[in-house]
Amino acid sequence: MLLAENLTVSLARREILRGVSLCCLPGTLTAIVGPNGSGKTTLLRALTGDLPYGGSASLNGHEIRDTPAPQLAARRGVLAQSTQLAFPFTVLEVVRLGLVNGGDETRARQALAEVGLAGFAGQLVQDLSGGEQARVQLARVLAQIWEPVSPAGPRWLFLDEPVAALDIGQQLAVMRLARRFADAGGGVVAVMHDLNLSAMFADRVALIHGGRLLAHGRAAEVLTDRHLETAYCCALRVNTVPMGNCPWLVPQAVAG
Q: Please write the tens of the pLDDT for every residue from 165-200.
A: 899 999 999 999 999 999 999 999 999 999 999 999
Specify the pLDDT at position 85: 80
Is 129 in contact with 51 (CB distance < 8 Å)?
no
Q: What is the pTM of this model?
A: 0.93
Across the strands, what pairs with 77?
157
Asked if residue 218 has pLDDT above 90, the reply is yes
Q: DSSP state, 63?
A: E
Handedness of CA 59, 62, 66, 69 (dihedral sign): negative
Contacts 24+ apart (CB under 8 A), 63-72: 72/48
Was domain 2-251 assigned CATH 3.30.1450.10?
A: no
Alpha helices in 97-254 (DSSP H): 105-114, 130-144, 168-183, 195-201, 219-222, 225-232
